[in-house]
């Protein structure tokens, strides 16, 4: 089967499976087996493709594309991705952007990422602020193992250890978190069935972290539609300069505040 034929077949099957972006996903999969980029596929349409079927079948079953490929881009990094942690998402890049802005004037800022997962936020901050002293904590040993693998692959020195919201009280310049905020998986994308429930399902973590935090700043990613509610909670807790920021799609998803 040529790459041209593989693209057509993959797009057809992914569309039938209900994938929102069948052509884009088909290009990613064919590019992966050819060892090229998505744009590079179109220069190799006559090349023979081998090894696509098992990957296509996994995506057809609605396994997240990032898990199928085994890696995913986040800001300037390429991270190893698998079912031990959430897929790094584009909206979370805004959380990193705001975190970097908050600590920009500080020398060697101490930054805590609660719920480090694959390491996306902590590693991106360290990558873009090499002088920052970054710690990532998680209640999942599996997630910490994945974050550690990513840190080693990228050559980024971050502290990774087991912990939860209690670590916010240890004294930091910034506490940043993308905590669980999904109330139910009912009616959501089938891909979420593959991601760890401990990182998805939960409520009240923003409030608990903000209440406990001994930090100059806090910054959170929140559920779509909840940003202004979380902002109001920060103000009640005594935070000042509370700000809500929109993600790349224009939705209010990041909330920050200062002590």
pLDDT, one tens digit per residue, over 42-82 is: 999 999 999 999 999 999 999 999 999 999 999 999 999 99
**Cβ atoms of residues 209 and 220 within 8 Å:** yes
In this structure, what token pair is assigned to residue 38? 């998505």
Q: Residue 168 gets which letter from DSSP? A: G
pLDDT in tens, 205-214: 999 999 999 9
- pLDDT value at 184 more than 80: no
pLDDT in tens, 2-45: 999 999 999 999 999 999 999 999 999 999 999 999 999 999 99
Report in angstroms the alpha-carbon separations of 180 from 6, 105, 185, 202, 257: 38, 30, 12, 5, 19
pLDDT at 203: 81
Question: For the residues 164-180, what does the mean pLDDT come to?
Answer: 96
In this structure, what token pair is assigned to residue 226? 């909840």
Cα of 112 vs its chain's centroid, Å: 16
Q: Residue 229 gets which letter from DSSP? A: H
Chain mean pLDDT for the chain:
95
Q: Which helix (H) or strand (E) is 252 found in, with range?
A: strand 252-258
Rg of the chain over Cα atoms, rounded to whole angstroms, equals 20
- Name the pTM for this structure: 0.93
Percentage above 90 pLDDT, the chain: 87
* Cβ neighbours of residue 50 closer than 8 Å, sequence gap 6 or more: 33
């Amino acid at each position: 089967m040529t790459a041209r034929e593989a693209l057509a077949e993959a797009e057809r099957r992914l569309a039938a499976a209900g994938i929102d972006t069948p052509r884009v996903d088909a290009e990613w999969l064919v590019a992966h087996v050819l060892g090229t980029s998505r744009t590079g596929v179109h220069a190799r349409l006559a090349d023979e493709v081998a090894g696509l079927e098992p990957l296509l079948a996994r995506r057809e079953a609605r396994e997240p594309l990032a898990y199928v490929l085994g890696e995913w881009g986040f800001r300037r990094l390429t991270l190893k991705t698998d079912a031990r942690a959430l897929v790094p998402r584009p909206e979370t890049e805004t959380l990193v952007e705001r975190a970097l802005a908050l600590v920009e004037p500080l020398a060697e800022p101490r930054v805590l990422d609660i719920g480090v997962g694959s390491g996306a936020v902590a590693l991106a901050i360290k990558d873009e602020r090499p002088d920052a002293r970054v710690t990532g904590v998680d209640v999942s040993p599996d997630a910490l193992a994945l974050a550690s693998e990513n840190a080693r692959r990228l050559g980024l020195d971050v502290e990774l250890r087991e912990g939860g919201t209690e670590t916010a009280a240890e004294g930091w310049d910034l506490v940043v978190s993308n905590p669980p905020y999904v109330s139910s998986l009912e009616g959501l994308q089938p891909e979420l069935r593959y991601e760890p429930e401990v990182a998805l399902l939960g409520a009240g973590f923003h409030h608990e972290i903000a209440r406990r935090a001994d930090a100059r700043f806090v910054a959170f990613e929140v559920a779509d539609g909840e940003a202004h509610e979380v902002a109001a909670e920060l103000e009640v807790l005594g935070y000042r300069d509370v700000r809500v920021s929109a993600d790349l799609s224009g939705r209010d998803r990041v909330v920050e505040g200062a002590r």
